[in-house]
Structure 1
Amino acid sequence: MTQNPPLSPSHLRIADDVRQRVLSAAQLRAHGVSAAEAAARCRTGGPWQQPLPGVYVLHPGPVTDEERLRSALLYAGRRPASGRRGVPAQPGPDTEPGYGEAVVTGLAALALHGFAAASPPASPVRIDVLVPRTRRLRSVGYVHLVRAAEPPCPEQVQGLPVAPVERALADAVAGLGDASAVRHLLTEAVRGGHCEPAAVVRELSRAELLGRPQLMDAVDALLAEGRALAENRLYDTVRSHGLPEPLWNVDLRLPGGPHLGGVDAYWPEEAVAVVLDTRAPRHSRLDDDRRRAEHDAQWSAYAAKREHLERLGVTVVHLSPKKLRDAGEQQAIVVRTALMEAADREPAAYVMILPR
């Protein structure tokens, strides 16, 4: 078996590649450096330093943000079990074996995702790292371990395993008491196109955070921001794909009869309506009965409105903000098809159209 050659102090003083500047005790042993020798090099005035248990930075200068991130992952990491859900059985070309199942989350992850409202990746007092719930390891120094029954499938950002935006947001706001900071993070998530409001609310619900005072107003603002963005995407889809101009944001009502509901776009000659489905997602099984009942009531109202309109001959097209963002051309085809098929349908009942 070929062994790694021993490392010399001159070779390891400062390397261009951070992976050669920050190593775990196990990685050093693989290169022939014993624990005693590593400890000796970390003494006062020595060429190395030990920022975390079992992790060494192979130079005496200030530890950089990237080195802090890597050292946090090496401290929390271990080799993944083959075939475990959410973790590759073999490391990919950009994945370090020493990171194992450790995943950067919280504010550090948001900074890596490009959030302006988050601090630089490793400058906060702590770096949140997701690990499996079964890991027998403690938070130490600037590393705060976040335990999860099933860690999310990480994204590779700058060669580091990073939690998806919605999970990183939930872990970040769980540790924030400042309502303004929470609102800025949630707003940037949607306005910056990082993720859809529904995904954020779903993750906050899973983490049982929706009842916190600093999140209540922020989530309402998030959903309002998401609806405004979805409406703008709908405008762009109609105009950029040459669809006829509809009546925007109108209420439909039977003459002298009941209110039929509001629609986001309506083509009166074809009797085609578009409704943006911006409902918050169904809450998890961990939520209380009241939240599930609210969601079910909201869905029932959507279904009743659609059924009533279609009985009157109005075709209702439901579009989701995510599909408008990711597949605008396909959604335009869906609307165009509904408009073209109007000629083959029975004329719709007369409805009154009122501004909303």
Structure 2
Amino acid sequence: MNHNTPLSPRPLRHLADVQRRVMSTAQLRAHGVSPADVSAHCRPEGPWQQLLPGVCLLHPGPPTSEERLHGALLFAGRPPARAAKTVPAQPGAGEPHAPYADALITGLAALALHRFSSAPPLLSLDRIDVLVPRTRRLRSTGFVRLVRPPALPTAVQIGGVPVAPVPRALADAVAGLTDAGAVRRLLTEAVRGGHCEPAAVVRELNHARLLTRPHVVDAVDSLLAEGRAIAEDRLYQMVAEHGLPDPLWNVDLRLPGGPHLGGVDAYWPDLAVAVELDTRAPRQGFRQDDDALWSEYARKREHLERLGITVVHLTPKKLRESLEQQATVVRTALMASADRDPAAYVVVLPR
């Protein structure tokens, strides 16, 4: 026997020790299993079965939800480089690294992995959506539907499975739903459960061109209202827990006998400091252009500051992620009022 003599195939019983019982044909080759052996084992009544093209299930029964997920990723993931020769695995070696590159679970399956209670259980899903690059030469098949975005998002690893971030997964799930109630429940849970901010969800829905569907528009309105209510609660919490003086909540400002200056979420009249929650969401082509809305915010802020009123803009994301830091920003603005010229007198009305 010399170094050119091919290695004898290993007994197939060693595959029972593999961590997952779903493998690609490339992985099976790396374990010393020939294509002929794969075909023989995947015959009717055989011990294996073909789960997807190029993917085998190493037992005869139905696949588990985990096996379906990994099978979908093995089917859609970029195959290993051909330049690298595969060598039969040695006894005791672990499973070769699964070629999951450039493949992410998205849609309802991803939301189930993110633990959305409003998403169906994984085993009940007839289809698993997988994000792949546009350049991948594959077609949807079996229970796998391929989604080709302009660019792949950064994956979130959940139990060893690469998963799309919640906003992207929501957009892909909503794209396949016609039930207005189901869409509303998913979007509401995303915000109420602290998975993401409304602006991020609306941005993905906008990119997916879903904001022309009436049932999605209605769900977005509920989502934005939910997001604002949560942000307001955090603003109240910030004032109460960090020792800030009580402001006047949700008031309109106007000049005496003059024009309306706009509404603010909190106002300290003796110190001429206002807080405004920036809950804008990009909804291009949907009721109001984001640029126009930002211009309205900017004009109001500039007008108030010309009158000597300091305006602090807070976003829902900052209130969620760094409440103490935002309290420091507001406290600094309140303390600095003593060093400023007196502000113009404005009329404060309930909003």
Normalised to the residue count of structure 2, the TM-score between the two structures is 0.90
**3-state DSSP class of the match of 1:161?**
strand
How many angstroms apart in 2 are the aligned matches of 1:47 and 1:64? 16
* Counterpart amino acid of residue 187 in structure 2: L
Shift of 1:8: 3.0
Mapped partners of 1:204, 1:111: distance in 2: 19
Query: What's the CA shift string for 1:80-135, capped at 9, x where partnerless?
Result: 89xxxxxxxxxxxxx95411211100000010011111112343110000111111
Q: Distance in 1 between matches of 2:8 and 2:303?
A: 76
For 1:8 and 1:61, the matched residues in 2 are separated by: 22
The answer to whether 1:262 aligns with 2:257 is no
Taking a change above 3 Å as real, the CA distance of residues 59 and 192 of structure 1, as seen in their structure-2 partners, is same
Determine the C-alpha separation between the residues in 2 that align with 1:229 and 1:6: 61
Query: Match for 2:183: what amino acid?
Result: V
Of stretches 97-106 and 317-326 in structure 1, the one that deviates more from structure 2 is 97-106
Q: Do 1:117 and 1:184's aligned partners in 2 also have CA atoms closer than 8 Å? A: yes
Equivalent AA in structure 2 for residue 262 of structure 1? G
- Cα–Cα, structure 1 residues 79 and 326, in superposed 2: closer, same or farther, change >3 Å? farther
TM-superposed CA distance for 1:212, in Å, is 1.1
Residue 74 of structure 1: CA displacement? 0.4
Question: Counterpart in 2 of 1:86?
Answer: none
In the TM superposition, structure 1's runs of 4+ consecutive aligned residues that sit over 6 Å from their partners are none
Q: For residues 7 and 319 of structure 1, what CA distance do their matches in structure 2 show? A: 63
> What secondary structure does 2:139 align onto?
coil
List gaps (5 residues or longer) in structure 1.
82-94, 284-289
Compute the displacement of 1:350 (Å): 1.3
Number of the residue aligned with 1:12: 15
Alignment of 1:185 onto 2:180: no
Q: In 1, are the aligned partners of 2:156 and 2:163 still within 8 Å (CA)?
A: yes
The equivalent residue for 2:337 is 342
For residue 231 of structure 1, what is the aligned residue in structure 2? 232
Corresponding residue of 1:149:
150
Secondary structure in 2 matching 1:148: coil
Contact 2:206 2:283 in 1 (8 A): no
Name 1:74's counterpart in structure 2: 74
Distance in structure 2 (CA, Å) of the matches to 1:352 and 1:271: 12
Structure with max Cα Rg: 2
Question: What is the root-mean-square deviation of aligned Cα atoms in Å?
Answer: 2.1
Q: Distance in 1 between matches of 2:185 and 2:80?
A: 35
Is the deviation greater in 178-187 or in 42-51? 42-51
Q: Say if 1:155 and 1:96 are closer, same or farther in 2 by CA, change over 3 A.
A: farther
**2:104–2:132: 8 Å Cα contact kept in structure 1?**
yes
**Aligned residue identity for 2:70:** R
Match for residue 64 of structure 2? Answer: 64
2-structure distance, mates of 1:353, 1:228: 22
SS of 2:129 mapped into structure 1? strand
Asked if 2 retains the 8 angstrom alpha-carbon contact of 1:80 and 1:101, the reply is no
Q: In structure 1, the residue corresponding to 2:311 is in which secondary structure?
A: strand
Does the 8 Å contact 1:250/1:354 carry over to 2? yes
Contact 1:248/1:264 (8 A) holds in 2: yes
Task: Please list every run of 5 or more consecutive structure 2 residues that lacks an aligned counterpart in the other structure.
Answer: 82-95
1:174 matched to which residue of 2? 175
Distance 1:153 1:231 in 2: 30
Q: How does 1:12-51 map to 2 (within 5 A)?
A: 12-13=15-16, 15=17, 17-18=19-20, 21-51=21-51
- Alignment check: 8 A CA contact 2:106 2:163 kept: yes
| Alignment length (residue pairs) | 333
Amino acid at match of 1:217: D
For the residue of structure 2 that corresponds to 1:45, the secondary structure is coil
The C-alpha deviation readout for 1:246-299, integer Å capped at 9, x for no partner, is 11111112121111111100111111000000011374xxxxxx5597222211
SS in 2 for 1:132: coil
2:307 to 302, 309, 312: 312
Q: Is the 8 A contact 2:206 2:282 kept in 1?
A: no
Find the residue that maps to 1:110 and give its secondary structure: helix
> Which amino acid counterpart does residue 15 of structure 2 have in structure 1?
L
CA–CA separation in structure 2 for the residues paired with 1:123 and 1:354: 54
Alignment partner of 1:132 is 2:127: no
Are the counterparts in 2 of residues 105 and 167 from structure 1 also a CA contact under 8 Å? yes
- How far does residue 79 in structure 1 lie from its aligned partner after superposition? 4.3
CA–CA distance in structure 2, aligned partners of residues 190 and 80 of structure 1:
39
